[in-house]
Structure 1
């Protein structure tokens, strides 16, 4: 179905693009374009009629296959869906364009020609409306980019096809007329291709999501191929431009320009075919089945970020890159080697870039950029903690520090002693979550850690990875204090219970939805008595007061007889939330406990843990420090959290 829909979109775009090109080219040199009127009208009518086939295929793709499509259902789909309404809009414009093109067969008018041309450009822009641009969840600038991208790209392609037609059917024209047309079309093409490049970047930012997705997803791989074809197009265009600059003043080789233009058009048709296909498949940013095809990836954190000691392979590759870059510059600027610089300099530059890339490369797997099937929530973390305690503590230890009871006796197949990884060490951050998923699925690099795919299903493995993300932060989290730190520790999400005094229309159902302004997350177990009970109650009441005074959200995870005034929004599953956050509620030389006697975490508006207060005492200054820091955090820009860069 995808191929059928993509093919029809290709057939729909091509004739309207050619019609616009044949309308535009004669205007560039003042021709009346009379010999192109019949082809323009035929192409416009064909485009309008083909729209009905497109509607059926779109409906067939969305409506379940077991449900037959009749005229009544198709009518309901057209009038009752956003895709159908968008199709109506495009079809109206297409028939207006067809009507104007047919009218040109009987009426000669410069005004009619102008109106027909701009209506055709509008038809080209509307091609995207029945594709990904229909997604109303996209930002306005992205939706506008879709319209400009298709209008500019198809105008360029149509003009190129029209130029080839003109070149091969205008042998009686003087060479200077052909040269004039080629030069003026070149200016239009530069603007169109420039617009395609700018809007293409904007669209890729929204639909691809990351650089790795360019190779790790079907959408991204096709977009990479599209970029390769665009480079081929630009090389052909460059060849024509070089000829235009060097040709004799009184000559113009129409056949040669036509042949190079034909090759450029072939690449352009390939671009159009790919564009039609990626318009109907899942964007890379929405893809969940991500396959990384290379055995390596580029990473600063995993290479230079580890501060490699000289000498090492990383240093040698970087030095080689520097030497080759110097050679490339020397060849370019040395007079004696100028004859060879067109070949030697690019070759040396490419070799330098290759060596530099190798210095940044680290091992990768098919799962390296996999996205988790389980959200980073407190519930997931606690499930992962249980799975870890049942399967991993023998080697890695109860807190993942590589000191389990079996750690001293581990040996690989060659009999060499192997030490389990310390999962709280900084090296954990050099791996992607997909790397960890791969090792859980297929076993560790040393050959000692077994595969857990037969013990843990996919969701269980991602639960464990969410726990490991928390666990890997424990060494650094020991030192979280009242002074705000940089953004690095992600606060796990959790479900919120319905507040007793909810505002009308309020739909804050998760901790994640509190993002936008700072939040104070308070934990307490009110099981003390006497003076300890009074001091704890006073601290909790003070926490509620400072959160309210700072304009921050307040979420409380209290057990026992805590003061009612101090309570605010509460989690739906408090035990899971307390257990998850207990992993990072650690202090130096204090034994770990899954219970939190009292702690107050300051979460910024992006969802990062930034500070922690043991209590809010009358004379410790924590209340004033919280207010000052909450005011600063409220002014920070919101940063999108990405678990892949944990």
Structure 2
């Protein structure tokens, strides 16, 4: 019951606001002729304005009541004004609601005051402007503003709402014109009302186009790269239903614009009446569908966005992936053939209209060609999928998980895949595939993390790999996946060097917790958007000379918005810690060092030393630069890369370049993808 009330409150206030805004925009557009103010349909429409403004206010009160109940988790608070007041005074949602309610009140007062004055064209413009304010304020409570309260995030949605109002809100006025022309008499009145409809039709076309463009922008922000959710989540299903209704509306609008409306100007009472009847009928259907569209949009605005949806059970045995299939034999030829056939299908629509094909032919030919084009182009892009394909990891991608995964890999996987995951243990049986190379081969296009989870759970048919559902917990399997991702990213990190690639962050730094000898502690993410981090993995006393250099330059490095964290690669005795502390005037990690060392060891390789044999070497001294957005940008391995950052001018040059960069990618997520 509460959900129904909530949906009705949101829908009623939005519908009333859109109609009020769109009607005023429409009246302003056609308001050049003074006869407009004498028309009976205008008076009827204006009498509804105060009621619609009142509906906006009542709907907002209902929204506040429902929001209070949802925010507090107490159903009784839906009916408690004192609880409403608490929300209004202490939450951002409450502040936005106050702004919306105040703007709606101004709208109601403006309508009541100006309705008493002699009607002028600018009255409608003023009402439209004032009616736009509650709509714009409402976007501050949308999904677009939930992730990021910025102009770039909110503006496309605000423009989308206003465009929707300019189209949808004008439909009641159009219906009133059509029904009034049926009851009124006189050729002159018919010509005037026809001109009104044509003006609206001319404006409606670009409005609908811009509405579609801004809708795509908003949808892309709420979906991002998770387009698979459009066919497997409530948000996606609602969006598809909304777009389907919109497609029907566009067909009706096209028929009205290019078929029935031009006939209103033709001579002949019978022809004029027939066209008017068609317009009344179909514009009425369009308005009904538009109301349903607004209802779906309201529900959609309060549904978890696609990019935040967890698809726990992918319902299809396949998925489409260009990255995984594009280089397979004949895929490109099939896809391009399908695209050409689809373009031919579109061209037959124009041919059918030009050559006056009968209705059945005009529908069947493009439809059959379009279906055939998809049957040719889509199957080559399909790859196998599992129920877990789009499952998201429940364990963060951090040093603790990576280290636990490396232990599980050594216990369960290294016998076949080798200690470094390169798949070096061939299988004698020719019918059984050799172990997969998990280190140097890219698998991310074909295998999502959910796919890997499925294979770890159930095993791989045709190989010696068993399923681990009975022997490894779900968390252990995610740890193992995090290790495999770190293994692969570590191999990619061989392309890093002691010089950054400007504005090209690619590899996320493994996150870790630490405690240092100076009493400081925290998480690597604590430095995000604030400081770069120079992570120094050292051995003692071999790194003593380097510590003297770092200590001497520490103030210079700090001035470049960078913190040093020194991490030992083995346990240090109390005496050794005291020796280190005498030199180091920067934090030296004493808790969490083992996990940091083991996870960052995977990022040790350089291009000239791939280090693929056996268990792998462990350089005695490595340094990594993580930028303030959480990306691994440069690395110096003293054993393999010579003098490197011992020249502090070379090091400080890299830090200056990082500090000059704006955010070009969002900080990496907490989970592997």
Category of TM-score, reference length = shorter chain = 0.7 to 0.9
User: Quick check: 1:522–1:600 contact (8 Å CA) kept in 2?
Assistant: yes
For 2:622, the equivalent position in structure 1 comes to 599
Measure the CA separation in 1 of the matches of 2:332 and 2:210: 41
1:266 deviation in Å?
2.8
Q: CA RMSD in A?
A: 4.0
Instruction: State how far apart, in whole Å, the 1-side matches of 2:562 and 2:8 are.
Output: 54
Report the alpha carbon displacement of residue 131 of structure 1 after superposing the two structures with TM.
4.3
Deviation at 1:467, TM superposition (A): 0.8
**What is the Cα deviation at residue 538 of structure 1?**
5.8
Deviation at 1:164, TM superposition (A): 1.9
- Partner residue of 2:294 out of 272, 280, 292: 272
**Contact 1:508 1:514 survives alignment (8 Å):** no
Please report how far the alpha carbon of residue 442 of structure 1 lies from its aligned counterpart in structure 2 after TM superposition.
4.0
> In structure 1, what is the Cα distance between the partners aligned to 2:312 and 2:208?
31
Matches within 5 A, 1:527-606: 528=541, 532=542, 537=547, 552-558=562-568, 560=572, 561=576, 563-564=580-581, 565-566=583-584, 568-570=586-588, 572-586=591-605, 587-589=609-611, 591-592=614-615, 597-604=620-627, 606=629
String of CA shifts for 1:529-572, please: whole Å, max 9, x gaps. xxx56656567668869956866443321253364445634555
Q: What is aligned with 1:152?
A: 163
State the alpha-carbon separation in 2 of the partners of residues 294 and 539 from structure 1. Answer: 59
Identify if the C-alpha distance between structure 1 residues 216 and 461 changes in structure 2 by more than 3 Å, giving closer, same or farther: farther
Cα distance, 1:283–1:275 mapped onto 2, change above 3 Å: same
CA 303–6 in structure 1, closer or farther in 2 if over 3 Å, else same: same
Deviation at 1:642, TM superposition (A): 5.8
Is 2:133 the counterpart of 1:122?
yes
Matched residue SS, 2:387: coil
Change (3 A) 1:285 1:479: closer
520 and 269 in structure 1: CA distance in 2 versus 1, 3 angstrom threshold: same
Residue among 483, 494, 503 paired with 2:512: 494
Name structure 2 gaps, 5 residues minimum.
none
| Compared CA separation, residues 321 and 51, structure 1 to 2 (3 A) | closer
* Aligned residue-pair number: 626
Deviates more, 1:380-389 or 1:598-607: 598-607
1:191 Cα deviation from its structure 2 partner: 4.7
Residue in 1 that maps onto 2:636: 613
**Is 1:583–1:594's contact at 8 Å kept on the other side of the alignment?**
no
Residue 283 of structure 1 deviates from its aligned partner by 2.3
Q: Secondary structure at the match of 1:429?
A: coil
Deviations 1:104-135 (A, max 9, x none): 66544336554334323333434444544664
- CA shift, 1:423, in A, is 1.4
CA distance in 1, matches of 2:393, 2:419: 24
Deviations 1:291-314 (A, max 9, x none): 54443333332122xx43xxx352
Alpha-carbon deviation of 1:218?
2.4
Partner of 2:243: 227
Residues 24-79 of structure 1, C-alpha deviation per residue, up to 9 Å, x if partnerless? 44442542222223322333323323332222111112111376553322322232
**1:94 aligned onto 2:104:** yes
- Other structure's SS at 2:383 match: strand
Secondary structure, counterpart of 2:390 in structure 1: coil
Note the C-alpha offset of 1:479.
6.3
Alignment of 1:426-445 (within 5 A): 426-430=441-445, 431-444=447-460
Shift in Å, 1:421: 2.1
Q: 2:666 aligns with which of 637, 640, 645?
A: 640
Distance 1:625 1:641, change over 3 A: same
Question: In structure 2, do the counterparts of structure 1 residues 617 and 10 end up closer, same or farther at CA, with 3 Å as the change threshold?
Answer: closer
Shift of 1:428: 1.9
Q: Residues of 1 paired with 2:543 and 2:124: CA distance?
A: 86
Distance 1:50 1:538, change over 3 A: closer
Counterpart pick for 2:57 among 41, 48, 51? 48
Measured in 1, the distance between the counterparts of 2:499 and 2:375 equals: 44
> In 1, distance between residues paired with 2:337 and 2:310?
38
Aligned pair 1:183/2:192, yes or no?
Answer: no
Q: Structure 1: how far apart are the matches of 2:209 and 2:516? A: 52
Cα deviation, 1:231-251, whole Å, max 9, x if unaligned, reads: 222222122221267536435
Q: What pairs with 1:370-389 in structure 2 (closer than 5 Å)? A: 370-389=391-410
Does 2:436 match 1:421? Answer: yes
In 2, the alpha carbon distance for the partners of 1:21 and 1:471 equals 57
Preserved CA contact (<8 Å) 1:512 1:607: no
How does the TM-score come out when normalised to structure 1? 0.83
Equivalent pair of 2:420/2:614 in contact (CA under 8 Å)? no
CA distance in 1, matches of 2:110, 2:632: 62
CA drift of 1:591 comes to: 4.4
In 2 relative to 1, CA 422–119 (structure 1 residues): closer, same or farther, beyond 3 Å? same
Q: Please point out which of 513, 522, 525 is paired with 2:536.
A: 522
Aligned partner of residue 421 in structure 1, secondary structure: coil
Separation in 2, partners of 1:619, 1:424: 26
Change (3 A) 1:34 1:396: same
1:153-175 deviation per Cα after TM superposition (whole angstroms, max 9, x unaligned): 13421211331233123312643
Q: Which residue of 1 aligns with 2:84?
A: 74
Q: Residues 493 and 512 of structure 1 are in contact (CA less than 8 Å); yes or no, is this contact kept in structure 2?
A: no
1:364 match? 385
Q: Does 1:324 align with 2:341?
A: yes
CA distance in 2, matches of 1:137, 1:422: 40
